[in-house]
Amino acid sequence: MKFRTDTRIAAALLIASVPAVLPAADETAPAKPAAAEVAPEEDPMLKAPEDVAAPPADAAKTDSGLASKVIKEGSGEAKPGPTDTVSVHYSGWTTDGELFDSSVKRGQPTSFPLNGVIKGWTEGLQLMVEGEKRRFWIPAELAYGENPGGGRPGGMLVFDVELLEIKQAPKPPEDTEKTAGGVAYKLVKKGEGEGHPAEGQLVSFHFTGTTMEGQPLQDTRAQGEPMTVPLQNPGLPPAMVELLGAMVPGEQRQAWLPESRIPGGFIVADIELVSFKDAPAPPQAPEDVAAPPADAEKTDSGLVSRVLEKGDGGDKPTGNSVVKVHYTGWKTDGEMFDSSVVRGQPASFPLTNVIKGWTEGLQLMEVGEKRRFWIPADLAYGENPGGGRPGGMLVFDVELLEIVR
């Protein structure tokens, strides 16, 4: 479940929440290399264009609202893809003509994967060929928004960009099989079990994932135990559902899972199905799920809780402890969004690595204790967090099984 980084929300930790190897696209300016010698001020790419305030009538415009105009034709023929890496020179201005960033001024080109920058760059660079210079008028919604803060420029931005080189992202090998959904894979080891997991069942599997360049993303074998999740859990990507649903216990496959947010656009996954079984019935939503009762305890932070079963009177975890728990989480309308109980597998995590309400709340508990928490939005994910995370106040039933260390 993803609390602050992750305990794990089903298998969202697998793909949807792979560790960020690049800054978020909606938070990223073109990468800034180390400063080099300053280019001459007379370089035309350092002067604000005459049409910086608004695109001219002859500028090309895409459906997204991105406007551009070719300044110099290129010599190449190929255009970059959305996961390719490009090398460019560029300068960027706000619409009042203020220069806010320039690789030309630094005297050094910059390189970046197209899926690691603002949307206007991801889309715009795919229109270009090597050697081409193009001016872009990027609306706020394709850049950083109107008032982004953090020193980033807001509103429409104007860039002059020269595409110097395209480095194509690695592609899956050609000698692969394809699932019905188009996922490329190779059979590594045949399974010895029988039957295939189906909707409503729990699947236990090992997963090792890397980028196309071999950078590690996740390895359940290093964690010491397979991952267990419902096959149809919302956090499990369709490609994984399809692959696991076609496997038998003991089978191992290497697969190339499409994931536009990482370099190369694919996760290279080693997947081994360990077992599958029927899932237990989900816990019922508490009667007091909508709001805490009058006799619940409340801390200064606003965290509310009530002891359901007393513990053994032993130690309590600290803020740096690693704990093992069973838990179920609901929204205040009674909708369950995550449960280790349904997965049939306790969750272990460091208290430094979860939402604030969990970091504070678990330190109130003794081993063996069961407690219900009402966690306000500011100690959870906020009111409207997006990304599939639940917003508003959240309610958790938690059983502290063990202080691992």
- What the block records as the tokens of 52 is 């910086």
For residue 301, CA distances in Å to 83, 309, 319, 332, 376 come to: 43, 23, 15, 19, 9
The answer, yes or no, to whether residue 53 has pLDDT greater than 70, is yes
Count of other CB atoms within 10 angstroms of residue 90: 21
Query: What is the phi/psi pair of residue 140, to 5°?
Result: -55, -40
Distance, in Å, from the CA atom of 264 to the CA atom of 251, rounded to the nearest integer, reads 26
Q: Which residues contact 41 (CB under 8 A, 6 or more apart)?
A: none
Task: Provide the whole-model pTM.
Answer: 0.58
Predicted local distance difference test score (pLDDT) of residue 138: 98
pLDDT band at 42 (very low <50, low <70, confident <90, very high): low
Continuous segment of H or E residues that includes residue 361: helix 356-362
Query: What is the phi/psi pair of residue 40, to 5°?
Result: -60, 140
Question: Between residues 58 and 31, which one has the greater pLDDT?
Answer: 58
The answer, yes or no, to whether residue 15 has pLDDT greater than 70, is no
pLDDT tens-digit series, residues 306-353 = 999 999 878 899 999 999 999 999 999 999 999 988 887 888 999 999
pLDDT band at 69 (very low <50, low <70, confident <90, very high): very high
Catalytic positions, written as ranges: 327, 337-338, 355, 381, 396
The answer, yes or no, to whether residue 29 has pLDDT greater than 50, is no
pLDDT band at 105 (very low <50, low <70, confident <90, very high): very high
Continuous segment of H or E residues that includes residue 388: none
Question: Between residues 263 and 380, which one has the greater pLDDT?
Answer: 380
Of all residues in the chain, the percent with pLDDT exceeding 90 is 71
Q: Annotate 279-348 with DSSP letters as a single string.
A: PPPPPPPPTTTTS--TT-EE-TTS-EEEEEE---S-----TT-EEEEEEEEEETTS-EEEEHHHHTS-EE
- Mean predicted confidence (pLDDT) in 124-137: 98
Q: Annotate 196-235 with DSSP letters as a single string.
A: ---TTEEEEEEEEEE-TT--EEEEHHHHTS-EEEETT-TT
- Mean predicted confidence (pLDDT) in 245-251: 97
Q: Which domains does the chain have, with CATH numbers?
A: 31-167 (3.10.50.40), 177-278 (3.10.50.40), 297-403 (3.10.50.40)
Mean pLDDT of all residues belonging to the chain: 87
Lowest mean pLDDT among 48-57, 205-214, 381-390: 381-390
Predicted local distance difference test score (pLDDT) of residue 190: 97
Task: Tell me how long the chain is.
Answer: 405
pLDDT band at 25 (very low <50, low <70, confident <90, very high): very low
pLDDT band at 150 (very low <50, low <70, confident <90, very high): confident
Predicted local distance difference test score (pLDDT) of residue 22: 26
pLDDT band at 234 (very low <50, low <70, confident <90, very high): low
- What the block records as the tokens of 331 is 């929204």
Are 250 and 363 spatial neighbours (Cβ–Cβ below 8 Å)?
Answer: no
pLDDT tens-digit series, residues 265-297 = 899 999 999 999 998 888 999 999 999 999 999
